[in-house]
């Protein structure tokens, strides 16, 4: 079975409890963790790569990931540290704003400690690596260079890399640094899952076709440009196809829409489905997720909506 390692950070999440905005539900979420959970629900063998503390909240997260079928062998535990925290504020249309407390989060150190070499060696045994622009923003220049070296070695031995640009300005010292580092990663990527919003913020690109051409020129063969309610554009070696979104319900909370789309697209790709079929499964996943509060929706609801695609 194909093995995927998803790299990044998971935080504690405070989200609205149903429709009562003054009540909060404690959960967890983080872009690459969200994708890992939905990959596991779609039958993909996936491990999560991060660092947490030695506190009860970290322990609870790990227990929940294992229940979801996400592997945790490469979750580092750092004594005396706590995971990051974020809250979600929603408007009447389900659009969200995030507020973070994460500057001392242990996930920032996985490529800059005494266990880094062991981790990098272990990741060579996987078939795919999955990471994001948020992942890159965590590590600092030295950590990113160690990560890039890992990715170069990984691809040299035949591994594949999927990357979501996921540009969040407040995670970077400047847009210039973000642009440079994300472009360096794109040059080491096989499957790009970006968004028009990301490409506008990073490169001032304002249409999906131009974004696809720009990313292809950096090296990736398959590029997906997500456009929210307008669906996505899939480009393979420059051949572009628009794939409409699924619009069959109210948007309750758009959190993790893109992350769940990525899981559907990658899961279908690993099954050998073509890129349009992969995009359709991505849209189906996202349509379920945005109908619920929080990044990780109830497992039963996800499985019921996805039918035979979920396990």
Positions marked catalytic: 259
Beta partners for residue 58, in sequence order: none
SS3 253: coil
d(CA 148, CA 146): 5
Length of the chain: 311
How many Cβ atoms sit within 10 Å of the Cβ of residue 171? 16
Find out whether 159 and 124 touch, Cβ atoms under 8 Å: yes
Please report how many Cα atoms fall inside a 13 Å half-sphere around the Cα of residue 68, on the Cβ side: 30
Order across the sheet with 45-52: list the strands: 75-77, 45-52, 3-7, 128-132, 160-164, 191-195, 222-226, 232-236, 239-243
Place of tokens 């030695």: 54
Of 289, 297, 306, 35, whose CA–CA distance to 162 is shortest?
35
Residues 184, 189, 193, 199: what is their CA dihedral angle, to the nearest 10 degrees? Answer: 20
Calculate the alpha carbon distances from 88 to 85, 91, 106, 254 in Å: 10, 10, 22, 10
């Amino acid at each position: 079975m194909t093995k995927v390692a998803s790299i990044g950070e998971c935080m504690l999440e405070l989200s609205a409890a149903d429709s009562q905005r003054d009540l909060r539900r404690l959960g967890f979420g983080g872009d690459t963790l969200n994708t890992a959970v939905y990959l596991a629900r779609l039958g993909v063998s996936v491990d999560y790569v991060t660092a947490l503390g030695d506190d009860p909240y970290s322990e609870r997260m790990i227990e929940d990931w294992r229940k979801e079928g996400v592997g945790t062998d490469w979750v580092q535990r750092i004594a005396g540290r706590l995971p990051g925290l974020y809250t979600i504020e929603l408007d009447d249309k389900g659009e969200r704003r995030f507020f973070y407390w994460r500057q001392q989060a242990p996930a920032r150190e996985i490529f800059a400690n005494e266990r880094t070499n062991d981790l990098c060696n272990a990741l060579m045994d996987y078939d795919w690596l999955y990471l994001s622009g948020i992942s890159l923003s965590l590590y600092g220049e030295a950590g990113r260079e160690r990560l890039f070296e890992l990715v170069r070695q990984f691809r040299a031995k035949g591994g594949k890399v999927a990357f979501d640009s996921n540009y969040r300005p407040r995670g970077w010292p400047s847009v210039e640094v973000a642009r440079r580092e994300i472009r360096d990663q794109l040059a080491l990527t096989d499957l790009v899952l970006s968004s028009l919003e990301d490409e506008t913020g990073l490169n001032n690109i304002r249409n999906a076709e131009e974004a696809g051409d720009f990313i292809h020129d950096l090296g990736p063969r398959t590029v997906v440009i997500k456009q929210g309610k307008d669906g996505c554009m899939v480009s393979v070696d420059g051949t572009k196809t628009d794939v409409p979104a699924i619009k069959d319900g109210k948007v309750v909370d758009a959190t993790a829409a893109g992350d769940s789309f990525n899981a559907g697209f990658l899961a279908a790709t690993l099954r050998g489905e073509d890129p349009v079929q992969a995009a359709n499964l991505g849209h189906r996943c996202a349509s379920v997720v945005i109908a619920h509060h929080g990044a990780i929706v109830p497992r039963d609801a996800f499985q019921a909506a996805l039918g035979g695609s979920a396990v």
